[in-house]
A and B are shown apart, each in its own frame.
Chain A
Amino acid sequence: MNAPSEAILVEQLRAGSDEAFESLVREHGGVMLATARRVLGQDADAQDAVQDAFVQAFRKIDTFHGESKLRTWLHRITVNASLMKLRSSRSRPAVSIDELLPQFLEDGHRTVGEKRWSDPGLVAAERSETRAIVREMIDCLPDDYREVVLLRDVEQLDTKETADFLGVGLAVVKTRLHRARQALRTLLARRFAGVTGC
């Protein structure tokens, strides 16, 4: 959608137009659903999150000033609605993060080497299987770590945006992301070595 028509659409939304709202849903709903699916990993919850996001978007349309694209604005609202759903729907206890971090000897050197990973598939046939494994392992992480991975490495938000979403400082985002990636690496290594579960 180009800029002038976006401005007109926003005007109509502010005026409470049903047609404008419906065209907003049809124009942006698919992309928002894809976002919610990435964050939530579950289709039913993703649809609920998109519904929540649209209701909020409609309620908050007066706060949209056109300094970002409508698409970007809706993306943030969708990510936020999805995070809310995610927090309320943890289905199993997370693993302890410390146990998944690398171990060192007293002199600061590594205890054991890493086995090389057989190249887990990015080829088309294996992609959906790999995707499911990665998602399962992300869901093993404690909430704080899971969220930072989803925002930074899945949704590709930058450190500042992620910090704003989570209400923490930049340094906390960096530390948490690093620990989360290390833990996820351990979980993936175990899975590729044939261990099931978290």
Chain B
Amino acid sequence: MLTCRELFEFLHDYLARDLSLAQRASFELHLTVCKHCREYLATYKKTIDLTCAACEPDDDVPEDVPEDLVQAILNARRSK
């Protein structure tokens, strides 16, 4: 049986689906008996989701380039 520490070491590869079948089975066996690790895994996944969701574009941010930025870029190119 894995210890919690060993399970934590496998966490990245587990989510990336990089574990062998045997490793995956022992990972999941530990999860069924260890509430701490189950709860940790849930918040670890939530962290990834929040990081991803938090960086989606704001609904109120236009896709357009501000005109002054366009002009600044055109000027920067001319001066090179």
Give the B-binding residues of A (Cβ under 8 A).
Answer: 18, 21-22, 25-26, 29-31, 33-34, 37-38, 47, 50-51, 54-55, 58-59, 102, 104, 107-110, 112-114, 116-117, 120, 122, 124, 127-128, 130-131, 133-135, 138, 149, 153-154, 156, 174, 177-178, 181-182, 184-185, 188-189
Q: In angstroms, how far is the closest chain A Cβ from the Cβ of B7?
A: 9
Which of chain B's residues 37-73 have a Cβ closer than 8 Å to chain A? 37, 39-40, 42-44, 46-55, 57-59, 61-66, 69-70, 72-73
Number of interface residues of B (CB under 8 A): 45
Give the A-binding residues of B (Cβ under 8 A).
Answer: 3-6, 8, 11-13, 16, 34-37, 39-40, 42-44, 46-55, 57-59, 61-66, 69-70, 72-74, 76-77, 80
The listed residue (A29, A134, A174, A178) touching B69 by CB distance below 8 A is A29
Contact in complex: A185, B80 (CB < 8 Å) = no
Contact in complex: A22, B47 (CB < 8 Å) = no
On whether A185 and B4 interact (CB within 8 A), knowing A29-B73, A54-B73, the answer reads no
Which label, helix, strand, loop or mixed, suits the secondary structure of the B interface? helix
Determine the distance from Cα of A13 to Cα of B52 in the docked complex, in whole angstroms. Answer: 34
Q: In angstroms, how far is the closest chain A Cβ from the Cβ of B42?
A: 8
Determine the distance from Cα of A19 to Cα of B62 in the docked complex, in whole angstroms. Answer: 23
Determine the distance from Cα of A104 to Cα of B53 in the docked complex, in whole angstroms. Answer: 30
Contact in complex: B44, A185 (CB < 8 Å) = yes
Contact in complex: B43, A114 (CB < 8 Å) = yes
Determine the distance from Cα of A26 to Cα of B64 in the docked complex, in whole angstroms. Answer: 8
Contact in complex: A154, B3 (CB < 8 Å) = no
